């Protein structure tokens, strides 16, 4: 019983991180959105995850990632943090 209580508590604290995956938004331009609904989530870690994912996507093409835009929505009442990174592979 104690173990199952810890699993439930851990699930509640961790929450659910999600990413849109890489989405083409124009000629050689892509977007990736990352959000997290856990109480300990931070915009900084979400942005780092989005940059890592974008970099990995470009690396599969033998290229490097260059940020061309993006937006952030910080945590506020009723709003979980979210970040979007727009990039191109060069």
Give the tens place of pLDDT for each residue, 14-34.
445 678 899 999 999 999 999
Q: Which residues of the chain have pLDDT under 50?
A: 1-15
Distances (CA, A) of 2 to 11, 57, 70: 14, 41, 44
Q: Which of 75, 12, 73 is nearest to 83 (CA)?
A: 73
Q: What is the pLDDT of residue 5?
A: 38
Compute CA 77 distance to the chain's CA centroid, rounded to the nearest angstrom.
20
d(CA 22, CA 86): 10
Distances (CA, A) of 20 to 9, 32, 46, 88: 26, 6, 12, 16
d(CA 82, CA 90): 26
d(CA 31, CA 69): 9
């Amino acid at each position: 019983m104690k173990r199952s209580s810890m699993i439930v508590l851990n699930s509640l604290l961790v929450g659910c991180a999600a990413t849109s995956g890489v989405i083409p938004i124009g000629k050689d331009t892509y977007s990736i959105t990352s959000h997290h609904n856990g109480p300990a989530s931070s915009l900084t870690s979400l942005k780092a995850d989005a940059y890592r994912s974008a970099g990995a996507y470009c690396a599969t093409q033998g290229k490097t990632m260059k940020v061309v835009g993006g937006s952030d929505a910080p945590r506020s009442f009723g709003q979980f943090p979210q970040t979007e990174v727009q990039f191109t592979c060069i």
